[in-house]
Amino acid sequence: MTTRTRGALRTAAFLSPWLVGFGLFFAYPLAATAYFSLTHYDGFRQPVFNGLENWSYVLTDYPAFWPAMGNTLWLVVVMVSCRVVFGLGVGLLVTRIKRGAGVFRTLFYLPYLAPPVAATLAFVFLLNPGTGPVNSLLEGAGLPAPGWFNDPDWSKPALTALAVWGVGDLMVIFMAALLDVPRERYEAAELDGASAWQRLRYVTLPAISPVVLFAVVTGVIQAMQYYTQPLVAGKVASGVIGGSGQQFRPGYPEDSTLTLPQLVHDLGFQRFDYGSACVVALVLFALSMAFTALLMRRGGLLGAGG
């Protein structure tokens, strides 16, 4: 046995836990999903190969697919951007507070610890267009009171507000990154006459750009998996909270909160159309990979340029 062969076997032995996990929990499920997307399969009988019929049905004949696609992309672009910007702003604020910084950190981080269902329920009641305190305050100030989760034009902004409210995780990440920026850079920028905005743009952001990229990529992945909050918000706002015999079609109001993960669940576990559900899952996977690759490429170019 040659030295190269022994080295390769040793490397494979060290990698074997990862290789086994990768094969069992990623490669095999992905291959099975691709296979089932080309079959008619209801989970009970043997799958029957039907070619691209499921793809044609989902992409051209299934009316909920494109609204869900649009909503998911809207959440990826708007909600992720708002969370990153607000998280960075809170991180900058907390790192500059001299007295009571621990109290402010706790107050900003606590909402992140709230369970998603409980937080969504609280927001639905707070933003209730008839009895919620938020609209009461807006009406008292003479401002228009939106319908929030009962209005298709305001349901996604309401979900974005819920996501921004729980931005404590990003605050902690950005706060740690900001505290690692050398003070000498700020002092040099101040001696050169740089304004606060110029210090942020030319000192802070380049120094924490890897952390910003990490926050954006993980945010996109989370947005692609967005399921619980829009489903709970739609159920509560529509009055269908739960109970036996109650049927609820996700997306209330008017498919404005419908997302691709909801379609996977609806097709696979409500209609038992696993082939079509696998098609949506593969589209979701392809979108996630495309966004991640684009962001990583942009991040690499920015890092090289810096």
**10-residue stretch averages of pLDDT, the chain, 306 residues long:** 82 89 93 95 91 94 94 95 95 86 88 93 91 90 90 94 94 93 90 90 92 93 93 87 64 93 92 94 94 81 49
Burial class (CB in 10 A: 0-12, 13-18, 19+), 94: buried
> How far is C-alpha 83 from the chain's CA centre?
10
Rg (alpha carbons) of the chain, rounded to whole number = 24
Tell me the pTM.
0.87
Closest CA to 282 of 23, 32, 20, 18: 32
User: In the prediction, which pLDDT does 248 show?
Assistant: 72
CA–CA distance, 33 with 23 (Å, rounded to integer): 14
Closest CA to 240 of 258, 252, 229: 252
DSSP 8-state symbol, 41: -
DSSP 8-state symbol, 148: G
